Chains A and B, each alone.
Chain A
């Protein structure tokens, strides 16, 4: 795995906290990785977006391959997917269809092909967002792949991987208390508990500030050209949040907080034990385009 400079022996994705709480059912070689740090891979490619800001599928595919081999320590993307999923799995790809900055069909396609490369038949793969509770694949899923963009959010601070599971409850507002503090609780619902094999936080065109009722303004969207990939959703969200906050500092010229704190990420660690939000316990692997990294 020359491009990442990381070999199997160095592979140390820690799923101690994630696995301990959620019993992720990851393959033995992943769980056997030395405890201590959660690995998060940031991969960037300045060519991933076209002139209109849409992702190019072929470039995305390369980025995911880089990220997954770095994450898992496997030699190829196929082997990486095979280390996460098997032919017997029924896989729900939890997407996000927010109109202005969606997960994108391109990323969904890349993830679906990746899941298929692990031997999962197409008939056992579903992609959905708001319809997951009624989706037959999600209802009987043995594994989940969680993919969404990060953006500033009126009430939770940021839209995060952790928050992306709010569609697994019929009454999302019931999780809105204290600025969505306990979104981590969602991950203990039977329909998702222990099933998440991979988290992909799209940082292709994140939004660092939200205004107006739809919390969208292209003025606050920028081309970061990145994907954050990891097993530990809290660690991945934490790194994404650092990028958002750094972009806010650069734009506003001061240390302006998000209108509401994104404390659901911290609480996902301390209250719900989904992973780690502690930067000292996150091993961040940076691949590709390095300009304006904000980290």
Chain B
């Protein structure tokens, strides 16, 4: 049963933020500019419109994920062709390109660049991001025809977004050697720290408002591990997070690299940034990973 949201007028032409810097960006009028019909698939003239306050009515339990990435507004377009054949086009205005990248990267399994600044197509679902927009086009059940229309609609949405947006700078501080590119995650809510390996239900690293975090898997010859970088408001906040993490995860406030559940973990502070290694197969791999990341951060200054 499709949710019935209250209809709201589209407010366009706002001053918007992209990449953390205020820009007077042109706002696409998706409702006007997206085609009303593609290969016999038709949509109503007006999309359904949601924001963080009522998104749960539409996403059926999935809204919190988008709220955790700062969603501002969602336009939901439904293209239909006959009975029980539907393609959903959901355009998420995430406020910044950082958040748009974050929500896109959250679920991706591989790197594709067919649409926007990064995309992924799998079994009827196309997702991509461009500037501050994250877009999902879902055609289910998938057919050869619906697959072509899903891709066409994705390209149509992307074409309406006039420019690319910047990646979070923190992503650029991840060491490149042995990085698994599709594993890179960017987030500002602590719960996503557990997405690569479970750390704790609590917010041990103090990730939240005023912080940013990236996480990635690495696959060097010595063994796979996970690296996390967290950027705090200042060095004092970073040091505080280090103490909490070391005390509660590593077992002592002064702990260095430590064996945790038959693997190795550690934390190092560089200015207002924390480097955390998780799930490393040996002390040497953990130390090497911390050193490599710290080196990249120091060189960036």
Complex interface: chain A residues within 8 A of B107 (CB):
210-212, 259
- Contact call A261/B125, Cβ cutoff below 8 A: no
B61 touches which of A97, A155, A181, A217 (Cβ 8 Å): A155
A218 touches which of B88, B142, B197 (Cβ 8 Å): B142
Complex interface: chain A residues within 8 A of B192 (CB):
259
Q: What separation, in Å, do the CA atoms of A263 and B60 have in the docked complex?
A: 20
Complex interface: chain B residues within 8 A of A181 (CB):
201
Question: B195 contacts the other chain (Cβ, under 8 Å)?
Answer: yes
A210 CB to nearest chain B CB (Å): 8
Complex interface: chain B residues within 8 A of A178 (CB):
201
B123 touches which of A97, A159, A213, A218 (Cβ 8 Å): A218
Question: B136 contacts the other chain (Cβ, under 8 Å)?
Answer: yes
Contact with B along A34-73 (1 / 0, CB 8 A): 0000000000000000000000000000000000000000
Given A212-B125, A213-B92, A217-B123, A179–B61 Cβ distance below 8 Å?
no
Interface residues of A in 161-181 (CB under 8 A from B): 172-173, 176, 178-179, 181
In the complex, the chain B residue whose C-beta lies closest to that of A252 is: B109
Complex interface: chain A residues within 8 A of B195 (CB):
257, 259-260
Contact with B along A234-269 (1 / 0, CB 8 A): 000000000000000000001011011101000000
Given A212-B138, A257-B197, A259-B195, A218–B124 Cβ distance below 8 Å?
yes
B64 touches which of A159, A176, A211 (Cβ 8 Å): A176
A293 CB to nearest chain B CB (Å): 25
Complex interface: chain B residues within 8 A of A173 (CB):
56, 63-64
In the complex, the chain B residue whose C-beta lies closest to that of A260 is: B191
Q: What separation, in Å, do the CA atoms of A153 and B61 have in the docked complex?
A: 8
Interface residues of A in 188-246 (CB under 8 A from B): 210-219
B158 CB to nearest chain A CB (Å): 16
Question: A156 contacts the other chain (Cβ, under 8 Å)?
Answer: yes
- Contact call A179/B197, Cβ cutoff below 8 A: no
Question: B245 contacts the other chain (Cβ, under 8 Å)?
Answer: no
In the complex, the chain A residue whose C-beta lies closest to that of B65 is: A154
Complex interface: chain B residues within 8 A of A256 (CB):
196
In the complex, the chain B residue whose C-beta lies closest to that of A267 is: B201
Contact with B along A73-94 (1 / 0, CB 8 A): 0000000000000000000000
B90 touches which of A100, A154, A213, A254 (Cβ 8 Å): A213
Given A179-B191, A217-B125, A261-B194, A130–B1 Cβ distance below 8 Å?
yes
- Contact call A261/B142, Cβ cutoff below 8 A: no
Q: What separation, in Å, do the CA atoms of A7 and B260 have in the docked complex?
A: 46
Interface residues of B in 108-132 (CB under 8 A from A): 108-109, 122-125, 127
Q: What separation, in Å, do the CA atoms of A212 and B125 have in the docked complex?
A: 8
Q: What separation, in Å, do the CA atoms of A260 and B192 have in the docked complex?
A: 7
Complex interface: chain B residues within 8 A of A176 (CB):
64
Question: B218 contacts the other chain (Cβ, under 8 Å)?
Answer: no
A261 touches which of B74, B92, B196, B201 (Cβ 8 Å): B201
Question: B243 contacts the other chain (Cβ, under 8 Å)?
Answer: no
In the complex, the chain B residue whose C-beta lies closest to that of A259 is: B195
Q: What separation, in Å, do the CA atoms of A154 and B66 have in the docked complex?
A: 10
Complex interface: chain B residues within 8 A of A99 (CB):
1
Question: B13 contacts the other chain (Cβ, under 8 Å)?
Answer: no
Complex interface: chain B residues within 8 A of A154 (CB):
61-62, 64-65
Complex interface: chain B residues within 8 A of A216 (CB):
125, 138, 140
Question: B283 contacts the other chain (Cβ, under 8 Å)?
Answer: no
Complex interface: chain A residues within 8 A of B61 (CB):
153-156, 159, 172, 215
In the complex, the chain A residue whose C-beta lies closest to that of B61 is: A153
In the complex, the chain B residue whose C-beta lies closest to that of A172 is: B56
Complex interface: chain A residues within 8 A of B191 (CB):
179, 260
In the complex, the chain B residue whose C-beta lies closest to that of A179 is: B191
Complex interface: chain A residues within 8 A of B196 (CB):
256-257
In the complex, the chain A residue whose C-beta lies closest to that of B198 is: A257
Q: What separation, in Å, do the CA atoms of A170 and B142 have in the docked complex?
A: 35
B59 touches which of A156, A214, A257 (Cβ 8 Å): A214
Question: B106 contacts the other chain (Cβ, under 8 Å)?
Answer: yes
- Contact call A214/B64, Cβ cutoff below 8 A: no
- Contact call A219/B123, Cβ cutoff below 8 A: yes
Q: What separation, in Å, do the CA atoms of A178 and B203 have in the docked complex?
A: 10
Q: What separation, in Å, do the CA atoms of A178 and B191 have in the docked complex?
A: 8
- Contact call B201/A263, Cβ cutoff below 8 A: yes
B213 CB to nearest chain A CB (Å): 14
Q: What separation, in Å, do the CA atoms of A212 and B105 have in the docked complex?
A: 10
A/B interface sample: 23 pairs, CB < 8 A: A154-B65, A172-B56, A172-B61, A173-B56, A173-B63, A176-B64, A179-B191, A179-B201, A210-B107, A211-B108, A211-B122, A212-B125, A213-B62, A214-B60, A214-B62, A217-B122, A217-B124, A218-B124, A254-B224, A257-B197, A259-B192, A260-B195, A261-B194
The 9 closest A-B pairs by CB, nearest first: A211-B107, A219-B123, A155-B64, A154-B65, A257-B198, A154-B62, A259-B195, A218-B123, A215-B62
Known: A100-B140, A155-B62, A211-B125. 8 other contacts (CB 8 A): A130-B1, A155-B61, A212-B107, A212-B125, A214-B138, A257-B194, A257-B195, A260-B194
